[in-house]
Amino acid sequence: MLFRAVDKEDAVRIANDTLFGLGGSVFTADTKHGAEVANRISTGMVFVNHPTMVKADPLFGGIRRSGYGRELTGLGIKEFVNHKLVDVVDINAEF
């Protein structure tokens, strides 16, 4: 959904007035200003001048009713793979 805000304060109010908090976007010609506004938005992810981004290295996740925790980081990526244990013992070992 897109919302048009009257000013910066209204934009932050609109963005934070929800039970959810996965992600949001700020569009502006002034990227420094966009980053300042993004830091005030209460979501797990905020993108400046683009709608979304999913890559293997940035954090991915939300807050409130949009999830708990983060995926796709160095530790989180391990949640998406199967670990296998291989234990090798000498055939002549005594137990």
| Pick from 39, 42, 35: nearest CA to 16 | 42
For residue 48, give the H/E element and its range. Answer: strand 45-48
Confidence bin at 68 (pLDDT 50/70/90): low
pLDDT tens track for 19-39: 877 778 888 888 888 899 888
The label of the residue with tokens 């005594």 reads 94
Look up the CATH number of domain 8-80. 3.40.309.10
Sequence-separated (6 or more) residues with CB below 8 Å from residue 50: 25
- pTM, 2 dp: 0.58
